[in-house]
């Protein structure tokens, strides 16, 4: 009998030792750890393009477009208040990694600066771009710009569709509406509230075109609330002291919007109905991940990819049943690096083209991040997906 129990005990020990490490989710959901995928170098940017941010793909031509706000000021003091050496620009990126600057964004007169970040094609074939002015003036100076396009080429005309946002960050079209994240609404009494603005196509497609006035939204503190401000959620201060709210946004199956807080990594699934909005927390911040920058849903793999700027990592999850927790899987991660070999260097945004996960490296370190310093050149990484 003793021999029998000894055999059972040895078998259990072998089972425990051979069982993969598990990652716990918000409600105890778990996923087995898989071998990490290795990012490779996709593109190096020229010296006058540092700190790239937004990435999108033309739905008609498949061309990749990139915004480069140049917040790094060529690395001088790492202070966004220092006048930038280079303006914000729009670029095309080929599948061969070639980067071509195609437009310089117009500066806001009040700040003398540009802050081009998230961008997306509208149903009119034009690009809608978040102009984040918060780093230069935090008093509701951010805008949504419309870059008029002729196919893959800008016509040179840029219109101001919306004014009055605080930190315009990411943009997505769905169900004939433009959704925009605002990372800092700066509401007194709230730690770090973020918001989602919604603009119906029949308003925003013509706003600011010279015949129809620009949409001017009210601050989040206005009463009654501006009708375009659909969602407001308070973002708690993270262990590293960051209280940034909503960052990237993407739409998955069943018109569900996925987003997360940059500050603590809390992830949300949001459904918009005619007369109601349902919000569900699918990952509690600082349990598995601590930072959510850009997010992107890929239909082929049926995964939402999350850029974790804090850890130099990429996570993925299959869109869960609404009301359930997300099961997060770590697919790539590396330590502090200059990104020259394609390693992640503060990943902030990504898209999937075919089986290529193309990742933007923001490389503008904040306190508490693995990335500790800015290095030239700025880069894009690529991961070959299964």
Q: Does domain 21-384 have CATH number 2.120.10.30?
A: yes
For 31-35, 51-55, 378-382, which range has the lowest pLDDT when averaged over its residues? 31-35
Q: What is the pLDDT of residue 11?
A: 38
Q: What is the pLDDT of residue 14?
A: 32
DSSP 355: T
Bridge pairing between strands 215-216 and 153-165: parallel
Whether 245 contacts 262, CB under 8 Å: yes
pTM given for the model: 0.91
CA separation for the pair 87, 130 (Å, rounded): 15
Q: What is the pLDDT of residue 5?
A: 33
Report the chain's mean pLDDT, rounded to a whole number: 91
What would the pLDDT profile of 41-54 be if each residue is shown by its tens digit? 999 999 999 999 99
Residue written as token pair 């262990």? 239
Q: Please, which pLDDT band fits residue 85 given cuts at 50, 70 and 90?
A: confident
Work out the percent of the chain whose per-residue pLDDT is above 70: 89
- The alpha helices in 79-228, defined as continuous H runs, are 201-204
CA separation for the pair 359, 346 (Å, rounded): 10
Q: In what order do the strands lie in the sheet with 40-44?
A: 40-44, 379-384, 356-361, 347-353
Three-state helix/strand/coil letters over 295-308: EEEECCCCEEEEEE
For 14-28, 83-97, 200-214, 294-308, which range has the lowest pLDDT when averaged over its residues? 14-28
CA separation for the pair 43, 340 (Å, rounded): 10
Q: What is the pLDDT of residue 363?
A: 95
Whether 123 contacts 201, CB under 8 Å: yes
E strand intervals along 70-186: 89-93, 99-104, 116-121, 127-131, 142-150, 153-165, 168-174, 177-182
Q: What is the pLDDT of residue 21?
A: 27
Q: What is the pLDDT of residue 137?
A: 94
Q: Over range 372-379, report the average pLDDT.
A: 92
Q: Over range 218-245, report the average pLDDT.
A: 97
pLDDT at 211 over 60: yes
Q: What are phi and psi of 120, to 5 degrees?
A: -160, 150
Q: What is the pLDDT of residue 30?
A: 42
For 175-184, 223-232, 300-309, 365-374, which range has the lowest pLDDT when averaged over its residues? 365-374
CA 385 to each of CA 109, 168, 303, 334: distance values in angstroms, whole numbers, following the listed order: 44, 30, 11, 17
Q: What is the pLDDT of residue 293?
A: 98
The residue with greater pLDDT, 377 or 14, is 377
What would the pLDDT profile of 115-140 be if each residue is shown by its tens digit? 999 999 999 999 999 999 999 999 99
Q: Over range 194-206, report the average pLDDT.
A: 98
CA separation for the pair 307, 248 (Å, rounded): 9
Q: Over range 76-83, report the average pLDDT.
A: 63
Sketch the domain layout of the chain as residue ranges: 21-384
Bridge pairing between strands 313-317 and 277-283: unpaired
Residue written as token pair 């230069």? 136
pLDDT at 373 over 50: yes
Q: Please, which pLDDT band fits residue 246 given cuts at 50, 70 and 90?
A: very high
Q: What is the pLDDT of residue 80?
A: 61
pLDDT at 216 over 60: yes
CA separation for the pair 217, 225 (Å, rounded): 10
For 15-19, 30-34, 375-379, which range has the lowest pLDDT when averaged over its residues? 15-19
């Amino acid at each position: 009998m003793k021999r029998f129990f000894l055999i059972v005990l040895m078998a259990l020990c072998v089972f425990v030792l051979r069982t993969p490490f598990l990652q716990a989710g918000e409600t105890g959901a778990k996923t087995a750890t898989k071998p990490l995928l290795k990012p490779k170098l996709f593109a190096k940017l020229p010296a006058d393009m540092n700190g790239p941010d937004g990435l999108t793909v033309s739905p008609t031509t498949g061309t990749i477009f990139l915004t480069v706000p140049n917040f790094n000021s060529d690395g001088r003091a790492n202070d966004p208040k220092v006048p930038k050496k280079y303006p914000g620009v729009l670029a095309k990126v080929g599948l061969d990694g070639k980067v071509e600057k195609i437009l310089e964004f117009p500066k806001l007169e009040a700040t003398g600066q540009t802050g081009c970040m998230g961008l997306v094609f509208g149903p009119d074939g034009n690009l809608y771009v978040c102009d984040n002015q918060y780093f230069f003036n935090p008093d509701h100076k951010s805008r949504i710009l419309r870059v008029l396009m002729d196919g893959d080429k800008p016509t040179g005309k840029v219109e101001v569709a919306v004014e009055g946002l605080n930190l315009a960050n990411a943009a997505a079209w769905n169900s004939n509406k433009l959704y925009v994240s605002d990372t800092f609404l700066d509401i007194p009494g709230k730690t770090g509230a973020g918001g989602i603005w919604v603009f119906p196509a029949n308003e925003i497609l013509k706003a600011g075109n010279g015949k129809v006035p620009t949409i001017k939204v009210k601050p989040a503190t206005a009463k009654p609330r501006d009708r375009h401000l659909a969602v407001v959620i308070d973002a708690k201060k993270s262990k590293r002291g960051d209280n940034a709210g909503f960052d990237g946004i993407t739409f998955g199956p069943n018109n569900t919007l996925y987003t997360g807080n940059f500050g603590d990594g809390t992830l949300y699934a949001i459904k918009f109905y005619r007369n109601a909005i349902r919000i569900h927390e699918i990952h509690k911040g600082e349990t598995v991940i601590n930072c959510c920058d850009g997010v992107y849903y890929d239909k082929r793999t049926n995964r939402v990819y999350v850029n974790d700027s804090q850890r130099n990592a990429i996570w993925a999850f299959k869109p869960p049943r609404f009301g359930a927790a997300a099961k997060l899987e770590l697919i790539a991660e590396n330590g502090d690096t200059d990104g020259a070999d394609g390693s992640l260097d503060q990943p902030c945004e990504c898209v999937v083209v075919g089986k290529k996960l193309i990742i933007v490296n923001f490389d503008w370190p904040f306190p508490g991040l693995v990335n500790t310093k800015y290095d030239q050149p700025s880069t894009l990484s690529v991961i070959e997906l299964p």
